[in-house]
């Protein structure tokens, strides 16, 4: 019912996602337009184009103003030269030069041709010279001069000077020149009018400067347009002072540019905004005010006489004019030198375009986009409604046909919709209905014929009756159930089953019933599944599989012979107990190894051995306390784990009692004799010995084998100290085999000195182990003796020491002719193969080798013969540690050594012990009589050295002289001096 309530019509199902998709598309298109900033980018492109065009026009104007129009140095120099000539000829005088037109006429006539030439070459609309030699602040009378204008420099007149007009000039100059005068011609400049701007600033600045700069540094661009008196044409000018070599300022020379001419040089059509833009040439008066100089045609001059930039114009460059907002692309013109007097006057070229006009393309594009989105949305919406109605109509008609067929409970006849997938679905419904009918019939027949008893039920929500198969309650032990059943009757019967029979609940939806009503037992599994509107249950007779599983589980967990737990089951119990260690309290792990089992197996066969094992297992099981896990883990090995006791003593007494009972039990043998049960038992304690099972097992095993090695049939507890000793000993034995296998021995060499002069005559090779634990040479020999590996140690020592010494000889680290004392074990020798190999490798130094036989082993006559018979042997023996080993005198006689080394225990404190001195004196006398030599080893003090020298030893060795080193060191200077001083005193 809930599904039906929450379901929607096909029309709504199709329409809603399509509308959502349309909405998402509109949002994405609109969002992408704003997210990508297309409108902003188009606006920026428009601004960038305007700025670039303004920069190009600025570069052109700046170049014209600097390189062409204001470059008046040549004409200025020419005027100065002519003026100086006329002054020198007394034609003119500086005192009267500006007093009248007549006084200035000679100079003006002289320079008029050059002025006209300059006017043409500079392509300006006018050129002028104004003469003045007085301070303008005190004298503002009219000033003489000349002003020539060319209204259109771009055209050339056919008649000479036909395109020129004289605006200002004395009458004498007018008569001499073939140039027409303008209608507003005057002979002088009226300084009371705007004409004073041509002269005043550059002249006054140069006139009052005490230190004159070059004339061009005083050059000045008029910051305001001006009109000549009674003349409508506005213009701007550039003027610079005329300065004689002596520094006299006597006027200015300048050029004029009509504003109309400048407007032509700033064409608005290049701004590409439908001629709605304007160029403005202005001067920045302060941070926000600009004074107009020239503007192009689209904006009237009166609109721009003085205008204001917005406060944040440096960020967005907008200005407001007559209520409209204009974008201003501003470029500064650098027309003054940075050190000039007018350098702070900043000229600017602006291109002004109304904001809406500048952004017209972006705005048009935006409106076009919105229009396309709206139009596309409307078309898509119409299409969505049409498609949704078309598809849903066919499906709705099909749905009604299916519903009608369900009401009449017949296989439906469905009409085609014209949609391939839906028509396939209709065909599938018809086919499926036919198959369901056939399958249900087959399944009922199969269920009736099956050898496995299966029954089931179905409870539908809202239905009064419960569908139950005929055999469902029969499987559960209830006979004579009348069908159909109401839900209440079904519930009552089910409660009866739950009440009368044992139930094993597997999970929420599965349980197993043990039915005891019939002969034997029957196990029935009931599986249930709940869905939204119904519940289904299947009951199945699983007696055979259930009993088989129980049998397999028993064989998995129990030992077949004794009935005790096996190894895997015991380990599983241990894992559980140690995970819940609060149950353990005091516990003991007991490891038991049966005695005499091998004897019975060998004498009477394995069947009698199995009987012996079975009787032992029975004894353990019968005599252990309740909280004990007992297991047979291998042939003759058992584990007991006793836990939950308050103290160890209680466990100990139980185990002693069990051992005593076991020792008094017997097993009858085939020969009629009785044999007592016997086992060796090891115990480890929890938590005293360890809180980890693996360690307890290891410790119990160790304790058990201690019993096996000593007195079988007893029990023993784990001894930590004994375990550590055994562990250390095992570690040393392991390291010993590692030493043998990898030959991990090195040799250090200690010098042997002559007692006469302290000269090194030999080196003794002393063994050094590279292992962590097994360091002591005596311990190495002890283990080698225990492991019967003395021959291996002998081979490694002889080869390794000789090889190392030979390498030292090659590297010049020892004396080349020095003897090498090699320690050799008295009871063993190299085999024939090793002796042959030794001779092959080291024959070149065999004559220098002295075999030093230790007294730690009994000397073997056979080994001694083999040592003497080694090919290439020098025949030199040394008896080591004389006075400390076995049968010292006998060894001395058998070996007949050339060198006798007195043991360091005798040399120690010999200077204080008379008995030791007597012993050494005797052996020295004995050796010398037989051409032998005595070596005193272990000398550690100066006193010991002096005493053995006094006793007549031949050679010296010990820490006082030199320490053993991998690379032998020099003999100590102190010991050498002691020897030398001794012989000097003798």
* pLDDT value, residue 857: 63
* pLDDT value, residue 601: 85
C-alpha neighbours within 13 Å on the C-beta side of residue 100: 4
Q: Across 500-509, 599-608, 728-737, which has the greatest mean pLDDT? A: 599-608
Q: Across 257-271, 460-474, 495-509, 790-804, which has the greatest mean pLDDT? A: 790-804
Taking a C-beta distance cutoff of 8 angstroms, is the pair 704, 591 a contact? yes
Strand order in the sheet with 510-515: 485-486, 465-468, 454-460, 534-541, 522-530, 510-515, 502-507
Kindly tell me if the per-residue pLDDT of 434 is higher than 80.
no
Q: How far is CA 355 from CA 281, 289, 711, in A?
A: 20, 20, 115
Kindly tell me if the per-residue pLDDT of 932 is higher than 50.
yes
The tens digit of pLDDT for each residue in 176-233 reads 888 989 898 998 998 888 888 888 889 988 888 877 788 888 999 988 888 898 888 8
Where residue 550 falls among pLDDT bands split at 50, 70, 90?
Answer: confident
Rounded to whole angstroms, how far apart are CA atoms 64 and 238?
A: 12
Kindly tell me if the per-residue pLDDT of 310 is higher than 60.
no
Rounded to whole angstroms, how far apart are CA atoms 416 and 971?
A: 117
Chain-centroid distance of CA 184 in Å reads 89
Kindly tell me if the per-residue pLDDT of 526 is higher than 80.
yes
Kindly report the length of the chain: 986
Rounded to whole angstroms, how far apart are CA atoms 71 and 48?
A: 33
* Average pLDDT over all residues of the chain: 83
Cite the beta strand spans of 335-439 per DSSP E.
Answer: 346-354
Q: Which of 68-77, 241-250, 384-393, 651-660 has the lowest mean pLDDT?
A: 384-393
Q: What angle do CA 768, 773, 778 make, to 5 degrees?
A: 50
- State the average pLDDT over residues 853-872: 77
Rounded to whole angstroms, how far apart are CA atoms 484 and 174?
A: 142
* pLDDT value, residue 314: 46
Kindly tell me if the per-residue pLDDT of 12 is higher than 80.
no
Please choose, from the candidates 893, 919, 897, the residue with its C-alpha nearest in 3D space to the C-alpha of residue 906.
919
Where residue 170 falls among pLDDT bands split at 50, 70, 90?
Answer: very high
Chain-centroid distance of CA 20 in Å reads 43
Q: SS3 of 925, please?
A: helix
The alpha carbon dihedral of 367, 370, 372, 378 has a sign of negative
- State the average pLDDT over residues 652-675: 87
Residue 721's contacts (CB-CB under 8 Å, 6 or more residues apart) are none
Is this structure's pTM higher than 0.85? no
Q: Phi, psi (5° rounding) for residue 295?
A: -135, 155
The alpha carbon dihedral of 293, 297, 298, 300 has a sign of positive
Rounded to whole angstroms, how far apart are CA atoms 617 and 665?
A: 12
Rounded to whole angstroms, how far apart are CA atoms 766 and 935?
A: 16
Q: Which of 128-132, 177-181, 385-389, 745-749 has the lowest mean pLDDT?
A: 385-389
Taking a C-beta distance cutoff of 8 angstroms, is the pair 126, 119 a contact? yes
Please choose, from the candidates 953, 959, 957, the residue with its C-alpha nearest in 3D space to the C-alpha of residue 919.
953
* pLDDT value, residue 887: 42
- Give the CA dihedral 342, 345, 351, 356, nearest 10 degrees: 180
Taking a C-beta distance cutoff of 8 angstroms, is the pair 868, 896 a contact? no
* pLDDT value, residue 899: 92
Q: How far is CA 977 from CA 29, 335, 814, 973, in A?
A: 105, 100, 22, 6
- State the average pLDDT over residues 7-17: 73
Where residue 169 falls among pLDDT bands split at 50, 70, 90?
Answer: very high
**83/864: higher pLDDT:** 83
Other CB atoms within a 10 A radius of the CB of residue 51 amount to 16
* pLDDT value, residue 312: 44
Taking a C-beta distance cutoff of 8 angstroms, is the pair 589, 700 a contact? yes
Where residue 396 falls among pLDDT bands split at 50, 70, 90?
Answer: confident
**Cβ neighbourhood burial of 981 (10 Å; 0-12, 13-18, 19+):** exposed
How big, in percent rounded to 5, are the helix, strand and coil portions of the chain? 45, 25, 30
Please choose, from the candidates 724, 726, 810, 808, the residue with its C-alpha nearest in 3D space to the C-alpha of residue 763.
808
* pLDDT value, residue 444: 56
Which alpha helices (DSSP H) does 665-719 contain, by range?
693-709
Q: How far is CA 408 from CA 300, 395, 402, 413, in A?
A: 94, 20, 10, 12
- State the average pLDDT over residues 939-957: 93
Where residue 759 falls among pLDDT bands split at 50, 70, 90?
Answer: very high
Where residue 951 falls among pLDDT bands split at 50, 70, 90?
Answer: very high
Where residue 442 falls among pLDDT bands split at 50, 70, 90?
Answer: low
Characterize 445-471 residue by residue with b for buried, 16 or more Cβ atoms within 10 angstroms of its Cβ, and e for exposed: eebeeeeebebbbebeeeeeebbbbeb
* pLDDT value, residue 447: 59
The tens digit of pLDDT for each residue in 894-921 reads 778 899 999 888 999 999 999 899 999 9
**403/264: higher pLDDT:** 264
Chain-centroid distance of CA 850 in Å reads 64
Q: What percent of the chain has pLDDT over 70?
A: 88
Q: What percent of the chain has pLDDT over 90?
A: 25
Residue 826's contacts (CB-CB under 8 Å, 6 or more residues apart) are 853, 854, 855, 856, 857, 858, 859, 860, 863, 864, 891
* pLDDT value, residue 875: 79
Kindly tell me if the per-residue pLDDT of 311 is higher than 60.
no
Chain-centroid distance of CA 843 in Å reads 61
Taking a C-beta distance cutoff of 8 angstroms, is the pair 658, 641 a contact? no
* pLDDT value, residue 415: 65
Kindly tell me if the per-residue pLDDT of 878 is higher than 80.
yes
Please choose, from the candidates 259, 249, 246, 165, the residue with its C-alpha nearest in 3D space to the C-alpha of residue 200.
249
* pLDDT value, residue 269: 77
- State the average pLDDT over residues 474-478: 78
Taking a C-beta distance cutoff of 8 angstroms, is the pair 937, 879 a contact? no
- State the average pLDDT over residues 468-488: 80
**Cβ neighbourhood burial of 346 (10 Å; 0-12, 13-18, 19+):** middle
Q: Across 280-289, 322-331, 398-407, which has the greatest mean pLDDT? A: 322-331
**807/668: higher pLDDT:** 807
Rounded to whole angstroms, how far apart are CA atoms 549 and 93?
A: 144
Taking a C-beta distance cutoff of 8 angstroms, is the pair 478, 492 a contact? no
Where residue 307 falls among pLDDT bands split at 50, 70, 90?
Answer: low
Other CB atoms within a 10 A radius of the CB of residue 247 amount to 11
* pLDDT value, residue 686: 94
């Amino acid at each position: 019912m809930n599904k039906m309530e929450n379901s929607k019509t096909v029309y709504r199902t199709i329409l809603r996602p399509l509308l959502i998709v349309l909405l998402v598309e509109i949002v994405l298109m609109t969002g992408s337009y704003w997210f990508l900033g297309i409108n902003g980018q188009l606006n920026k492109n428009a601004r960038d184009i305007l700025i670039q065009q303004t920069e190009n026009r600025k570069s052109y104007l700046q170049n014209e103003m600097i390189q062409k129009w204001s470059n008046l140095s040549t004409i200025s120099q020419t005027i100065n030269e002519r003026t100086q000539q006329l002054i020198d000829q007394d034609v003119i005088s500086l005192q009267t030069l500006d007093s009248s037109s007549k006084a200035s006429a000679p100079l003006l006539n002289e320079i008029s041709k050059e002025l006209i030439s300059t006017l043409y070459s500079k392509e300006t609309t006018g050129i002028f010279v104004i003469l003045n030699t007085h301070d303008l602040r005190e004298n503002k009378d009219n000033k003489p001069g000349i002003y020539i204008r060319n209204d259109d420099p771009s055209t050339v007149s056919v008649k000479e000077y036909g395109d020129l007009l004289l605006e200002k000039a004395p009458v004498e100059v007018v008569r001499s020149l073939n140039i027409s005068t303008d209608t507003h011609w005057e002979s002088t400049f009226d300084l009371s009018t705007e004409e004073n701007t041509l002269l005043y600033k550059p002249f006054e600045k140069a006139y009052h400067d005490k230190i004159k700069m070059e004339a061009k540094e005083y050059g000045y661009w008029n910051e305001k347009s001006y009109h000549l008196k009674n003349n409508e044409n506005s213009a701007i000018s550039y003027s610079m002072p005329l300065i004689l070599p002596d520094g006299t300022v006597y006027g200015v020379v300048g050029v004029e540019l009509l504003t109309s001419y400048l407007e032509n040089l700033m064409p608005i059509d290049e701004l590409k905004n439908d001629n709605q833009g304007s160029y403005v040439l202005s001067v920045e008066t302060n941070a926000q005010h600009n004074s107009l100089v020239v503007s192009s045609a689209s904006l009237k001059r009166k609109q721009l006489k003085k205008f204001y930039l917005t406060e944040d114009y440096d960020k967005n460059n907008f200005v407001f004019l007559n209520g409209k907002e204009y974008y201003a692309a501003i470029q500064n013109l650098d027309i003054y030198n940075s050190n000039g007097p007018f350098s702070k006057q900043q000229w600017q070229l602006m291109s002004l375009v109304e904001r809406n006009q500048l952004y017209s393309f972006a705005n048009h594009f935006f409106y076009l986009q919105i229009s396309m989105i709206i139009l596309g949305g409307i078309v898509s919406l119409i299409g969505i409604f049409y498609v949704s109605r078309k598809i849903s109509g066919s499906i709705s008609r099909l749905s009604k046909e299916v519903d009608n067929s369900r009401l009449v409970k017949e296989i439906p006849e469905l009409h085609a919709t014209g949609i391939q997938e839906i028509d396939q679905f209709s065909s599938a419904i018809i086919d499926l209905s036919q198959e369901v009918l056939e399958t249900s019939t087959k399944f009922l027949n199969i269920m009736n014929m099956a050898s496995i008893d299966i029954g089931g039920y179905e409870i539908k929500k809202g239905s009064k009756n419960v569908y139950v198969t005929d055999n469902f309650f029969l499987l559960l032990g209830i006979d004579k159930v009348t069908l159909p059943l109401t839900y209440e009757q079904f519930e009552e019967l089910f409660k009866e089953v739950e009440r009368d029979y044992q139930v094993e609940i597997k999970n929420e939806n599965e349980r197993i019933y043990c039915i005891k009503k019939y002969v034997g037992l029957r196990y029935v599994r009931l599986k249930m599944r709940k869905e939204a509107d119904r519940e289904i249950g299947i009951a199945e007779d699983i007696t055979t599989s259930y009993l088989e599983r129980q049998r397999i589980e028993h064989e998995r967990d129990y030992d077949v012979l004794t009935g005790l737990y096996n190894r895997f089951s015991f380990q599983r119990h241990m894992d559980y107990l140690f995970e819940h260690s609060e149950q353990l309290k005091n516990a003991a792990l007991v490891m038991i190894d049966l005695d005499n089992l091998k004897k019975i197996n060998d004498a009477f066969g394995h069947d009698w051995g199995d009987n012996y094992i079975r009787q032992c297992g029975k004894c353990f099981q019968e005599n252990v306390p309740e909280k004990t896990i007992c297991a047979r883990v291998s042939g003759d090995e058992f584990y007991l784990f006793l836990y939950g006791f308050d103290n160890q003593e209680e466990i100990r007494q139980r185990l002693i009692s069990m051992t005593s009972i076991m020792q008094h039990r017997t097993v009858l043998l085939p020969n009629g004799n009785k044999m007592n049960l016997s086992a060796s038992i090891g115990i480890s304690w929890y938590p005293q010995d360890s809180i980890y099972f693996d360690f307890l097992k290891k410790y119990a095993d160790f304790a058990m084998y201690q019993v096996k090695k000593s007195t079988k049939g007893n029990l023993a507890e784990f001894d930590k100290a004994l375990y550590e000793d055994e562990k250390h000993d095992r570690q040393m034995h392991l390291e010993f085999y590692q030493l043998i296998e990898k030959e991990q021995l090195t040799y250090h060499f200690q010098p042997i000195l002559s007692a006469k002069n302290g000269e090194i005559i030999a080196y003794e090779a002393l063994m050094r182990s590279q292992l962590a634990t097994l360091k002591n040479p005596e311990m190495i020999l002890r283990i080698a003796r225990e492991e019967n590996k003395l021959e291996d140690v002998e081979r490694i020592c002889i080869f390794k020491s000789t090889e190392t010494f030979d390498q030292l000889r090659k590297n010049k680290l020892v004396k080349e002719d020095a003897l090498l004392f090699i320690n050799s074990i008295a009871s063993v020798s190299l085999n024939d193969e090793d002796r042959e190999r030794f001779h092959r490798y080291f024959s070149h130094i065999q004559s220098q080798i002295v075999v030093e036989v230790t007294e730690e082993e009994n000397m073997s006559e056979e080994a001694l013969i083999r040592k003497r018979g080694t090919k290439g042997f020098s025949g030199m023996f040394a008896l080591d540690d004389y006075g400390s080993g076995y049968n010292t005198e006998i060894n001395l006689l058998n070996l007949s050594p050339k060198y006798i080394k007195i043991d360091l225990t005798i040399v120690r404190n010999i200077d204080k012990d008379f008995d030791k001195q007597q012993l050494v004196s005797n052996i020295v006398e004995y050796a010398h009589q037989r051409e032998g030599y005595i070596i005193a080893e272990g000398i550690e003090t100066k006193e010991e050295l002096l005493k053995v020298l006094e006793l007549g030893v031949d050679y010296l060795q010990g820490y006082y002289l030199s320490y053993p080193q991998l690379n032998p060191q020099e003999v100590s200077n102190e010991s050498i001096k002691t020897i030398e001083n001794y012989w000097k005193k003798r």
